[in-house]
Amino acid sequence: MLYPAMLKLVGKRVVVIGGGKVAARKVASLVEAKAVVQVVSPEVSPEMAELIAHHSIDWQQKPFQKQDVERALVVFAATNDRKVNEYIGQCASDQQLVNIVDDPNASNFFVPASLKKGKLAIAVSTSGGSPGLSKKIIQELAHQYDDQFIHFLDFLAECREQIKSRVNDPIKRKQLLTELIQSDLYEQMRGADDQERITLFNNLIDSRG
């Protein structure tokens, strides 16, 4: 069984061994997550070279050595040589998160198909059963949760902050936060324009005293 989680990698050391397109995709997402990224590879693809040129990425232009993974929280073995990837996995400790791109069974974590829009992050995994289906589900969700919904999510986030600052009673606060997403009010707000949403929200606060 897999344990789903979202990692906060801001300021955390992540090592990506490999310089090809697959490694570049990993690095791009790590840069977005504001991780401290080190790339180990004698050569890099144009995609990787562009990332290195525009971001604070430590490129170690050399073959992999065991000490390269020391002190890393997360390790990606993403070379085009399966034996090298296997060796990287052997060099990592049991306390490190290791993803071997061509050997899921030897990895202790996976990067699922994901949708990221604004504050919304959705990850889908079929536990390796059908990676293609995971991507299909993400595509369907992308249509369901469009830019208009992301704008609505930003509004709900602001409502949450308003409730926290304006309502002192913790019981009332919890009730209001629940009602925002578990009542007819949620559907009304989702279908309303910005001004109507503000009015509906203020009526909710006023009705609870």
State the average pLDDT over residues 50-71: 97
Q: What is the pLDDT of residue 2?
A: 83
Grade residue 183 by pLDDT with cuts at 50, 70 and 90: confident
Q: What is the pLDDT of residue 209?
A: 60
Average pLDDT over all residues of the chain: 94
**What is the C-alpha to C-alpha distance for residues 18 and 53, in angstroms, rounded to an integer?**
16
151-to-66, 94, 114, 159, 176 alpha-carbon distances in Å: 46, 42, 19, 13, 20
Q: What is the pLDDT of residue 148?
A: 94
- pTM of the entire structure? 0.84
85-116 tens-digit pLDDT: 999 999 999 999 999 999 988 999 989 999 99
CATH second-level architecture of 13-111?
3-Layer(aba) Sandwich (3.40)
Domain edges within the chain: 13-111, 147-207
Q: Which of 188, 189, 204 is nearest to 153 (CA)?
A: 189
Grade residue 7 by pLDDT with cuts at 50, 70 and 90: very high
State the average pLDDT over residues 154-182: 93
What H or E segment, with its residue span, contains residue 161?
helix 147-166
Q: What residue ranges in the chain does DSSP mark as E strands?
A: 13-17, 36-40, 58-60, 74-77, 97-100, 113-117, 120-124
